């Protein structure tokens, strides 16, 4: 079971998704965690067993699938 431990509520500003591999964060001004995850994913983030920013996601997927 996946727990999005790196997706945190930031109070006023909504939610912050933090990359598992670097220090990048993504702020989503939405009400709920699912919306924050969806918003991040539409912006190129991968949120699941691992949380990766677009750059890390690209690097990892390039290595895995090339
Ligand atoms: Zn990253």
Q: Tokens representing 33?
A: 């965690």
User: How do residues 33-61 score in pLDDT, each as one tens digit?
Assistant: 999 999 999 999 999 888 999 999 999 87
Q: Please give the pLDDT value at position 4.
A: 47
Residue 12 Cα to ligand 1 middle (Å): 24
**pTM of this prediction?**
0.75
Residue 53 Cα to ligand 1 middle (Å): 4
**What one-character-per-residue DSSP string does the chain give?**
----TTEEE-GGG-EEEE-SSSS-EEEE--SSHHHHHHHHHHTT-EESSSEE-HHHHHHHHHHHH-
Residue 58 Cα to ligand 1 middle (Å): 9
Q: Distance between CA 39 and CA 13 in Å, rounded?
A: 14
Q: Please give the pLDDT value at position 13.
A: 66
Residue 8: phi, psi to the nearest 5? -125, 145
């Amino acid at each position: 079971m996946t727990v999005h431990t790196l997706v945190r509520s930031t109070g006023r500003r909504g939610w912050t998704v933090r990359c598992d591999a670097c220090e990048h964060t993504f702020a989503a001004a939405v009400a709920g965690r699912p919306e924050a995850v969806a918003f991040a994913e539409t912006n190129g983030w991968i949120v699941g067993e691992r949380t990766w920013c677009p750059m890390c996601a690209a690097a990892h997927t390039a290595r895995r699938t090339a």
